[in-house]
Amino acid sequence: MNPISIGVIGCGNISDAYFGGAARSKLVRVKACADLNHAAAQAKAAQYGVAAVSVEQLLADPEISIVINLTIPQAHAPVALQVLDAGKHVYLEKPLAATLKEARTVMARAEAQGLRVGCAPDTFFGAAHQACRRVLDRGLIGKPVGGSVAVLSHGMESWHPNPEFFFKPGGGPILDMGPYYIAQLVNLLGPVARVVACTSIGNATRTVTSEPLNGQLIQVEVPTTMNGVLEFVSGANVAMSASWDVWAHKRSFIEIYGTEGSLLGVNPNFFGGVPMVCKPNEDWQPVDISAHPFGQDNRALRSGAQVADYRIVGLLDMAAAIRQGRAHRASGALALHVLEVLEAFERSSITGAHITMESSCAQSDAVPLGAGEEVFA
Q: Which residues bind ligand NAD (CB under 6 A)?
A: 9-15, 35-37, 40, 55, 70-73, 75, 79, 93-94, 162, 176
Query: C-beta of 162: minimal distance to ligand NAD in Å?
Result: 5
User: What b-and-e string marks burial along 178-213, b requiring 16 or more CB atoms within 10 Å of the CB?
Assistant: bbbbbbbbbbbbbbbbbbbbebeeeeeebebeeeeb
Asked whether 351 and 136 are in contact (CB, 8 A), the reply is no
| Cβ proximity to ligand NAD, 118 vs 261, nearer residue | 118
**3 state DSSP class of 202:** coil
Query: C-beta of 361: minimal distance to ligand NAD in Å?
Result: 20
| Cβ proximity to ligand NAD, 209 vs 351, nearer residue | 209
Strands 89-92 and 217-219: unpaired
- Cα–Cα distance between 31 and 282 in angstroms, integer? 54
| Cβ proximity to ligand NAD, 121 vs 147, nearer residue | 121
Query: C-beta of 173: minimal distance to ligand NAD in Å?
Result: 12
| Cβ proximity to ligand NAD, 139 vs 161, nearer residue | 161
Q: Which of 76, 161, 162 is nearest to 119 (CA)?
A: 76
| Cβ proximity to ligand NAD, 121 vs 261, nearer residue | 121
Phi and psi at 37, nearest 5°, equal -90, 95
- Cα–Cα distance between 335 and 348 in angstroms, integer? 20
Query: C-beta of 112: minimal distance to ligand NAD in Å?
Result: 22
User: In the chain, where does DSSP find H-type helix?
Assistant: 15-24, 38-48, 55-60, 73-85, 100-113, 127-137, 172-189, 313-324, 332-351
Q: Which of 222, 232, 278, 233 is nearest to 252 (CA)?
A: 278
| Cβ proximity to ligand NAD, 175 vs 189, nearer residue | 175
Query: C-beta of 151: minimal distance to ligand NAD in Å?
Result: 13
Query: C-beta of 339: minimal distance to ligand NAD in Å?
Result: 12
Query: C-beta of 181: minimal distance to ligand NAD in Å?
Result: 13
CA dihedral sign, ordered 127, 131, 133, 134: positive
| Cβ proximity to ligand NAD, 210 vs 252, nearer residue | 210
The residue sitting closest to ligand NAD, measured at its beta carbon, is 12
Residue 255: partners with Cβ closer than 8 Å, 6 or more residues away? 147, 148, 149, 262, 263, 264, 265
